[in-house]
Structure 1
């Protein structure tokens, strides 16, 4: 998710519901009360704040535990909470939902492994900004592989975003941190996952909460299996985790995963995916704030400008893409 954790922000890009419905793009919720919508916005803003803090939490916890063991503990906690709180929804789970959940869970495991590893070798603020590059990559990937019409303004916005990335990653001359490259790889895979999720689930009768739950369990299982490659090391790390590290992992599992997904489930019923996505676009800003306040990271003028360019292009990109998708002309490019 965000990271962003992101605990899989791919779900944040699609309609998220708690019953089995077609999983294609959704219109704004009809008849939603303004007060309810604003309360939903506050909840989603809380998700953005939590996800912004996860980069600092992941970087700090990296001194105590390996990536696979970390992912197992975090996502086992998050998946367990979501499963328990949505037991009634799990009746009637289909083979198609299992296959989708396993597919996207494997992709999510790859994304989160790269994010968790990358943030250990770069600034937490950089990671928050760079992962948002996936927002600009989504329409470009759709254009190349799915031949979906892309608004012309997306191209200059993409260049603006890339310029921001250059300012962020080249803050020490021509040298680039290895963590920056790892986070950029995660952004590319995340964008591909969002596109694949939309194309594979569009028009199908699936429950996204069940698919999401399976995704999270797959991530936890992937972390467990990789931890068993070096069982003695993993067990030693878990056994000697300090109490504050357990609190941080629990925070990431419950707040950064379970709370984040359940809040989005509620928001999608009273708001719209576009509105939810725009609020979530503030995540990199909060990532930078937490990095400066908690880790005393210093952002120079070039990094501040780069982060602002990435954040601005991501925000405008979501808005432009949403207008393009809701416009009357067909989205397919005619030969």
Structure 2
């Protein structure tokens, strides 16, 4: 694995950690405000946080690491990419919020994790070559998520179906990022997607919910954590890291958020891990390791 891919892998793991721990903040925030309000405020904050850093990333990161892609940048592509990413992000996060209100957290985690299967399936339709080891990893990861998340009989209800739709849109979000991120400034793309998602959520907030300033202020800490870290930092790392990572492998690494969500719940909400859940975590980590093993042809080529 070369240096760029190693750094990208670390960034994706950090992204998964932040996303996983943000489930705690998200859970606390929903005690005060509705899903549209939470998504609106957190995404707008995420976009605002990135504005001061756009100049920094453009000068320090882009010029030194991705200078070869400078000529590919285009304001038109940036805006189009930001709109599509923001739309996919809005649909995925919205269906997830409403889905979890109608199903158990365990089922929601398992069904949301299906995007690690949906990504390679969608990738086939856009002629993406999928290594066989990735399919093996997907099977192992799904077994791990089953052990980690499912604690009762599996059945399909309204919440399960909404969460399944959420997984589809998160898969689309990963593939859209994979298409646009090598062609445009990743930080600007991330900033635009947050404002697009935030504005759409804001419109829905005023139509379907009755938010108050006092309720929003009561949830200031969860909102700031989700807005600054989960949105501003994590999604930007995802976009930058995916420039040097295959979307299927990226989806597998990012799916670790469910593992870290369990760990965060254990630490902050005092939820214990059963032996079955521990086995699920181990299987998921094994799946990630398999995806990082270099192919034999590449090893011979590098010798």
Q: TM-score range by the shorter chain?
A: 0.7 to 0.9
Hey, what does 2:292 align to over in structure 1?
Answer: 319
Q: Secondary structure at the match of 1:148?
A: coil
- Which residue, out of 250, 259, 273, partners 1:285? 259
Hey, what does 1:255 align to over in structure 2?
Answer: 229
- Which residue, out of 186, 190, 209, partners 1:212? 190
Consecutive unaligned residues in structure 2, runs of 5 or more? 60-72
- In 1: Cα distance, 2:290 partner to 2:165 partner: 20
- Mapping for residues 44-123 of structure 1, pairs under 5 Å: 46-87=14-55, 94-121=75-102
Q: Is the 1:124–1:287 contact (alpha carbons within 8 Å) kept by the matching residues of 2?
A: no
- In 2: Cα distance, 1:268 partner to 1:162 partner: 22
- In 2: Cα distance, 1:312 partner to 1:126 partner: 22
**Pair 319,137 (structure 1): closer, same or farther in 2 beyond 3 Å:** farther
Are residue 201 (structure 1) and residue 174 (structure 2) matched?
no
- In 1: Cα distance, 2:290 partner to 2:96 partner: 22
What are the Cα deviations for residues 90-139 of structure 1, in whole angstroms up to 9, with x where unaligned? 9x961221111111210111111123333445565665565444234322
Where has structure 1 moved over 6 Å in runs of 4 or more? 265-269, 324-328
Q: Which moved more, 1:67-76 or 1:43-52?
A: 43-52
What are the Cα deviations for residues 134-180 of structure 1, in whole angstroms up to 9, with x where unaligned? 2343223212x023332233334333334344445542234467655
Hey, what does 2:137 align to over in structure 1?
Answer: 157
Q: Is the 2:49–2:232 contact (alpha carbons within 8 Å) kept by the matching residues of 1?
A: yes
Hey, what does 1:3 align to over in structure 2?
Answer: none
Q: Is the 1:132–1:310 contact (alpha carbons within 8 Å) kept by the matching residues of 2?
A: no
Hey, what does 2:214 align to over in structure 1?
Answer: 239
What are the Cα deviations for residues 253-289 of structure 1, in whole angstroms up to 9, with x where unaligned? 11222232455678789xx547x95875643332111
RMSD (Å), alpha carbons: 4.1
Consecutive unaligned residues in structure 1, runs of 5 or more? 1-26, 329-335
**Pair 252,58 (structure 1): closer, same or farther in 2 beyond 3 Å:** same
Q: Is the 2:187–2:240 contact (alpha carbons within 8 Å) kept by the matching residues of 1?
A: no
Q: Is the 1:115–1:186 contact (alpha carbons within 8 Å) kept by the matching residues of 2?
A: yes
Q: Secondary structure at the match of 1:206?
A: coil
Q: Is the 1:130–1:187 contact (alpha carbons within 8 Å) kept by the matching residues of 2?
A: yes
Q: Is the 1:132–1:187 contact (alpha carbons within 8 Å) kept by the matching residues of 2?
A: yes
**Aligned pair count?**
284
- In 1: Cα distance, 2:273 partner to 2:256 partner: 18
* Alpha-carbon distance, 1:325 to partner: 11
* Alpha-carbon distance, 1:55 to partner: 1.2
**Pair 317,201 (structure 1): closer, same or farther in 2 beyond 3 Å:** farther
- In 1: Cα distance, 2:299 partner to 2:122 partner: 20
Are residue 189 (structure 1) and residue 169 (structure 2) matched?
yes
- In 2: Cα distance, 1:175 partner to 1:296 partner: 28
What are the Cα deviations for residues 183-217 of structure 1, in whole angstroms up to 9, with x where unaligned? 4432232223322433x4387x4222222211111
**Pair 188,240 (structure 1): closer, same or farther in 2 beyond 3 Å:** closer
| TM-score, normalization by structure 1 | 0.68
**Pair 123,303 (structure 1): closer, same or farther in 2 beyond 3 Å:** farther
- Mapping for residues 171-186 of structure 1, pairs under 5 Å: 171-175=151-155, 179=159, 181-186=161-166
